[in-house]
A and B are shown apart, each in its own frame.
Chain A
Amino acid sequence: QQQVKQSPQSLIVQKGGISIINCAYENTAFDYFPWYQQFPGKGPALLIAIRPDVSEKKEGRFTISFNKSAKQFSLHIMDSQPGDSATYFCAATVSGSARQLTFGSGTQLTVLP
């Protein structure tokens, strides 16, 4: 019930291409879905987040698409750059609760120059 399933485990994209990472959840009580970006040797950092009252949120080259009925959400990175190479984690939580994030398993993105 608490799991967040993330795919793919790893992704290789050419510079300028689109990177797409998918996540699915089961707990319908989740109402806040952040994505975290982690560079080697660093802790995860919040990249972008969405609430289920909207189907899409865009910040620069990063877009979250949300499908409430399917209980799925995805991260799209447009015009992918080598500097985007990192591990990306989706997460979910119930806002107003104890802020306990349930993380996906992570996707290691490599953007080739």
Chain B
Amino acid sequence: DAGVIQSPRHEVTEMGQEVTLRCKPISGHDYLFWYRQTMMRGLELLIYFNNNVPIDDSGMPEDRFSAKMPNASFSTLKIQPSEPRDSAVYFCASSRQGAGNTEAFFGQGTRLTVV
């Protein structure tokens, strides 16, 4: 498996524009997480899904943020409208339910810059 795949790797957009980040989890994983990483706040969990169903979105900062998981192999994180303070690296991670170790596999991230 190629691991968790995120696209794009880099995104530069103007304030007010819509931004869509994409994630393909590892096949067979039934948990998917979206994190945001900034220097000031570190790694923050935004939302996570279990079997494509959103379980906890309490980390989503504002209504401008939304996430979907239409099927087991694809998820999106959308920001509309984007603001300069949304500039960060956004990570998607996936893991598999079951007994034993709890390892989350992270993608390489999308570096978002809103100007």
Contacts and interface: CB of A to CB of B under 8 A. Distances in A.
A46 B28 CA distance: 19
Contacts of B48: 98, 100
Most buried by B among A36, A49, A99, A105: A99
B91 A43 contact: yes
A43 B102 contact: no
A95 B99 CA distance: 8
Contact of A103 (B42, B55, B107): B42
A100 B55 CA distance: 11
Contact of A98 (B43, B56, B103, B107): B56
Given A43-B108, A98-B55, A106 B102 contact: no
A80 interface: no
- Interface centre among B50, B93, B95, B106, by most chain A C-beta atoms within 10 angstroms, is B106
A95 B80 CA distance: 35
A105 B106 CA distance: 17
B106 A100 contact: no
Interface string B20-50: 0000000000010100000000110100101
Give the 4 A-B CB pairs with smallest separation, nearest first: A43-B106, A103-B43, A105-B42, A46-B103
29 contacts: A34-B102, A34-B103, A36-B106, A41-B108, A42-B108, A42-B109, A43-B93, A43-B106, A44-B43, A44-B106, A45-B105, A49-B101, A49-B102, A49-B103, A89-B43, A96-B99, A98-B31, A99-B31, A99-B95, A99-B97, A99-B102, A99-B104, A100-B33, A100-B45, A100-B56, A101-B45, A101-B104, A105-B42, A106-B42
Given A36-B106, A89-B43, 10 more contacts: A43-B107, A49-B103, A96-B99, A98-B31, A98-B48, A98-B56, A99-B95, A100-B48, A101-B102, A105-B42
